[in-house]
Structure 1
Amino acid sequence: MYMTLRAQDGHVFDAYVAGEETARSGIVVIQEIFGVNSHIRDVADFFAAQGYRVIAPALFDRVQAKVELGYTQKDIQKGLELRSEISQEQVLQDIAAAAQALDKQSSVGVVGYCWGGTLAWLAACKIPAVKAASCWYGGGLAQVAHEQTTVPVQMHFGELDKSIPASDIELIRKAQPDVEMFVYAGVDHGFGCDQRGSYDKAATELARLRTISFFAKHL
């Protein structure tokens, strides 16, 4: 199911919604650079099945509506182009609108993947409605590791991820010693997406278990 949201600056955009309206807590699922595609909808449905009300905002709607990309090199290039046309301030307004739409829930967390992993961290730092964040292989996290938050955060990384090398993970760890951090041995970037060649079932299941336990504790 989809709903329409309005950001603080008046931008109107779509969001995928799953889970019961009466759920105690809510989760905002933050997309990769591939839009709210079938993978992100599957992720939203997974968290809904755990008892959450879930909203996945279509962050590319500011540039192009109904973007659903795959994982080819051409798709990656298109996703990077779309991302470059949206400012951090704009995208955080859209995430804030999604969090505010979960006003029937007692608390709201965010979980994000790739681009969304970094945005989940920024949401924890800058959006008061966000009470906990789980960040999966957030590209660019090292560049914003100096930001500060007062809410619980966990992060998940792949040991073989060339876009987030061990030096970046160590930088983040030093900047944010209170963040719960997991590095999964022998897996690459995007290990949590079953549509990618880098998918790793065991690592995904463990990271999901840790994420669910984390949200159960903090939401």
Structure 2
Amino acid sequence: MGESINIPTTRTHCIGGYLARPQGRPKGGVIVIQEIFGVTAHIRNVADRFAAAGYTALAPAFFDHLESGVELGYDKTGMERGKSLVAELGLDRAVEDVASAAEAISSAGRIGTVGYCWGGTVALLSALRLGLPSVSYYGARNVPFLGEKPRAPVMFHFGEKDPSIPPEAVARHRELLPQMELYTYPAGHAFNRDVDPHAYDEASAKLAWQRTLAFFDRELAGA
């Protein structure tokens, strides 16, 4: 369903991206922000699902600034390499890339973001700093930024059994951004990652997907 494209960025360097288009006129555009493992088959599938739901979806390959074609495994080696890459890339550059990606699909209409794990924090920052309505799945790096004034609405999804995001961190979201939708699920970290039987929780993922689509139908398609 999708295709590979190049995305011009603000740092005179193109990065790749996976672009999935809907049939017919798009409801809007969604930037799909990866986990620390790169633009994997799972992330491409997420983009395809948004396209099937009527949105132009683009998953930028953020790591192309450092190394092209990164797709890491969901094991200890992949996790350590992914952590190293996101640390080297930095959140500021990632947010710049989201802005570039949003410009690349601006013809789709109003643009939002959805992000997972590391991408969940990039999605939050996209709402805070770029004014893009965003959905943040289990963003373990969110808390330091919750004091910033949001420029767009955010929806949060968290697993109640996620050791990387304790209840106190979820409570800080509710305390500092009480106007935002926040949902918790009887699941662990990465419960939406359907290619990983150790993480995936089908019931939680399906409910979060329904809520995410409702959010974008309201904030993008309904705008």
TM-score of the superposition, structure 2-length normalised? 0.94
State how far apart, in whole Å, the 2-side matches of 1:106 and 1:45 are.
18
Structure 1 gap segments, 5+ residues each? none
State how far apart, in whole Å, the 2-side matches of 1:22 and 1:90 are.
31
State how far apart, in whole Å, the 2-side matches of 1:59 and 1:218 are.
25
* Aligned pairs (5 A) from 1:1-219: 1-20=3-22, 22-128=25-131, 130=132, 132-185=133-186, 187-196=187-196, 197-219=198-220
State how far apart, in whole Å, the 1-side matches of 2:105 and 2:18 are.
13
Structure 2 gap segments, 5+ residues each? none
Kindly tell me the number of residue pairs found equivalent between the two proteins.
Answer: 216
Q: CA deviation at 1:81?
A: 0.8
Question: Are the aligned partners of 2:20 and 2:58 in contact in 1 as well (CA < 8 Å)?
Answer: yes
Q: CA deviation at 1:33?
A: 0.1
State how far apart, in whole Å, the 2-side matches of 1:87 and 1:162 are.
23
Question: 1:58 is aligned with what amino acid?
Answer: A
Question: 1:198 is aligned with what amino acid?
Answer: A
State how far apart, in whole Å, the 1-side matches of 2:12 and 2:95 are.
13
State how far apart, in whole Å, the 2-side matches of 1:24 and 1:105 are.
7
Q: CA deviation at 1:75?
A: 0.6
State how far apart, in whole Å, the 2-side matches of 1:105 and 1:17 are.
12
Question: 2:213 is aligned with what amino acid?
Answer: I
Q: CA deviation at 1:173?
A: 1.0
Q: CA deviation at 1:87?
A: 2.1
State how far apart, in whole Å, the 1-side matches of 2:129 and 2:151 are.
10
TM-score of the superposition, structure 1-length normalised? 0.96
State how far apart, in whole Å, the 1-side matches of 2:153 and 2:173 are.
15
Percent identity, aligned pairs only?
38
Q: CA deviation at 1:82?
A: 0.8
State how far apart, in whole Å, the 1-side matches of 2:194 and 2:7 are.
29
State how far apart, in whole Å, the 1-side matches of 2:90 and 2:77 are.
22
